[in-house]
Amino acid sequence: MRKHIFNAGPCKLSDSLLKNSAEAVLEFNGLGQSLIEISHRSKDFQAVMDETVDLMKEVLSIPEGYSVLFLGGGASLQFAMIPYNFMKSKSFYVNTGTWSSKAIKEAKMWGEVVEVSSKDKNFTYYPKGFEIPNDVDYVHITTNNTISGTEIFEDLDVKAPLIADMSSDFLSRPVDVSKYDMIYGGAQKNLGPAGVTFIIIKNEMLDKVVDDRQIPTMLQYGIHIDKGSMFNTPPVFNIFAVRETLKWVKAMGGVKAMEKLAKDRAELLYNAIDNSNMFVSPIVKEDRSRMNIVFVMKDEYKEKEADFIAFAGERNCVGIKGHRSVGGFRASTYNASTIEDVQALVGAMKDFEAKNA
């Protein structure tokens, strides 16, 4: 039996991705070879790459003038590559938790980082209405905070180039890409298996690369745009899997349909939390993530947290243990999660509470 998977990433993926990827690994396109045995420069793989890029542009309505890249190194390499390429001396970061803190650490190597942060309340809200100095090289935000469980649902209007880490809410709602100069993330949540990084970058950003800095070739965006993500051997299996996700999203009705599902799943689970006498959400209501639903037990039940994780496991709900830095629970409900998955968890919560409260 397939479990109700709430892992934070790697995480639940669509059945069509699993099935089609498994088949392609055994034999691809009737070639008598596996997908992972053929050259990345073969016409069969080039067709996969081209279709994946085209589907990204179609599914997210990416305007003209942007490039789509699939590289290695994870979102974490982007934390370093972004300031290496674009930070002359000053940047602006919205610090909403662990991942943005890591991004800030890399940027500080290149000068001053002006920061607005929700650290004062343990990252339980998303900062709003902040002033951005006029002279920053770019603004960096993390749209969904996988660990703290907050999310921003609007596309900000800012003067400086806007760069967003969308690792954990990519494709979960329509995004006005024209407001961003770069969007990036690790694939291992809504897009596919771990091992590939997606980057959507406005070509004009190449004019903003710091010109008096020597940048290693592998870390130059211009090279990867020129070479169509084939400067070195790309993660071929992962790109194939991303294509399968994009086909699935399209068949499901696109990002609008993904947004509706995300809202429905999140509402079901947050309602169960808010109506419970045992569980509670520490996150400010309007900033609650639809992707990573963080909750804890009220103080009087704290010692029962491990028991609940075991109880949920008996109901086939896996992956709900909170991140070690936050504790409690985190149910990650990415695009491939179903209402039935969430219903199973809500059922376990109610039954556990009836027995133990």
Binding residues for ligand PMP, rule: CB under 6 A, are 9, 74-76, 99, 142, 146, 165, 167-168, 186
Residue closer to ligand PMP, measured from CB, 88 or 323: 323
Residue (of 156, 141, 138) closest to 90 by Cα position: 138
Which element (helix H / strand E) includes 247? helix 236-252
**DSSP conformation letters of 41-75:** TSHHHHHHHHHHHHHHHHHTTPPTTEEEEEESSHH
Active-site residue among 12, 137, 165, 341?
Answer: 165
Q: Which is nearer to ligand PMP, 122 or 275 (CB)?
A: 122
Q: Is 189 a catalytic residue?
A: yes
Q: What is the dihedral of CA 248, 250, 256, 257, to 10 degrees?
A: -50
> Considering beta carbons, is residue 9 or 193 the nearer one to ligand PMP?
9
Which lies closer to ligand PMP via its Cβ, residue 9 or residue 83?
Answer: 9
Between 291 and 349, name the residue whose CB sits nearer to ligand PMP.
Answer: 291
Residue with tokens 């994870």: 74
Shortest distance, position 117 Cβ to ligand PMP, whole Å: 16
* Closest distance of CB 76 from ligand PMP, Å: 3
Active-site choice (57, 99, 287, 341): 99
| HSE (side-chain half, CA atoms, 13 Å) at 296 | 16
Cα separation, 67 vs 62, whole angstroms: 9
What sign for the dihedral angle of Cα 262, 264, 267, 273? negative
Residue spans of beta strands (DSSP E) within the chain: 4-5, 66-71, 90-95, 112-117, 139-142, 144-145, 150-151, 162-165, 182-186, 197-202, 279-280, 292-297, 317-318, 329-332
Q: Which helix (H) or strand (E) holds 260?
A: helix 254-274
- Token match 């920053």: residue? 136
Closest CB 116 distance from ligand PMP, rounded Å: 17
Nearest distance from C-beta of residue 78 to ligand PMP, angstroms: 8
The least CB distance from residue 156 to ligand PMP, in Å, is 17
- Catalytic annotation on 285? no
Task: Kindly tell me which of 71 and 346 has the beta carbon lying closer to ligand PMP.
Answer: 71
Catalytic annotation on 208? no
Q: What is the dihedral of CA 343, 345, 347, 348, to 10 degrees?
A: 170
Rounded to the nearest whole angstrom, what is the least distance from the CB of residue 182 to ligand PMP in the complex?
Answer: 14
Q: Alpha-carbon distance 255 to 257, whole Å?
A: 5
Residues catalogued as catalytic: 99, 165, 189
